[in-house]
Amino acid sequence: MTEEALRAEVVAERREQVELLASLRPEQWDAPTLCDGWRVREVVAHTTMPFRTSRRRLVAELIKARGSFDRMSDRCARRDAERLPAEALLASLRDNVAHPWSPPGGGPHGALSHDVIHGLDITVGLGLDRRVPPERVALVLSGMRRRNIAYFGADLTGVELRATDLDWVYGGGTPVRGLAQDLLLVLCGRRLPPGRLDGAAAPRFERAARPAR
């Protein structure tokens, strides 16, 4: 796929997320996501940080975090989520759907992966029935390499991930079946709500069910 076509997918993904986020109730912005410790507002603060932060400022934040990108991202997301209201975070995304940012060395494919994965962190975490177009998920999956999966810490030993909506299989062993977007989250080390995956090994990748109140 050409870079222009990938950029078009990035724009489409961001526009769809703007529409979804605009429909959230105030309390949903404070609901947890699949990113441990981050609410919806922290995730959106994170995905929009590159639109609001200069390169010089990013370097300064990285130095402050002693070179840890993860530490920097967490600190900045929490800070911006605290000082910016939901309306400002949404506006930051809405105004930058065509922003050319991409992660270092990732290009437009990296930008698409970043946006799709974090969008799913929100929608799956909230239990919303949003389906990312399978062809868009396929683009993200095509770029997942062993080093990416190792970074996320996903333990897929003895497991075969098999998509039910795409011709896609990863690994070997006990089958775990599910939508491609859910299996993408598994690759990224997320634990899903119960019932989204099928197979004897599925509980390995699920969160414990919350007790009824």
Residue 208 has pLDDT above 80, yes or no: no
Query: Would you place residue 210 in the very low, low, confident or very high pLDDT band (cuts 50, 70, 90)?
Result: low
Residue 211 has pLDDT above 50, yes or no: no
Residue-wise pLDDT for 63-105, tens only, equals 988 988 889 999 999 999 999 999 999 999 999 999 999 998 8
Separation of alpha carbons 38 and 36, rounded Å: 6
* Domain final residue, candidates 125, 143, 160: 125
* Domain final residue, candidates 98, 125, 152: 125
Structure pTM? Answer: 0.94
- 154, 169 contact by CB (below 8 A): no
Query: Would you place residue 125 in the very low, low, confident or very high pLDDT band (cuts 50, 70, 90)?
Result: very high
CB burial of residue 29 (10 Å; 0-12, 13-18, 19+): buried
Q: Which domain holds residue 142?
A: 131-213
Q: What is the total count of domains within the chain?
A: 2
Residue-wise pLDDT for 6-23, tens only, equals 999 999 999 999 999 999
Instruction: Assign residue 57 the CATH number of its domain.
Output: 1.20.120.450
> What is the Cβ-side half-sphere exposure of residue 66, based on CA atoms within 13 angstroms?
1
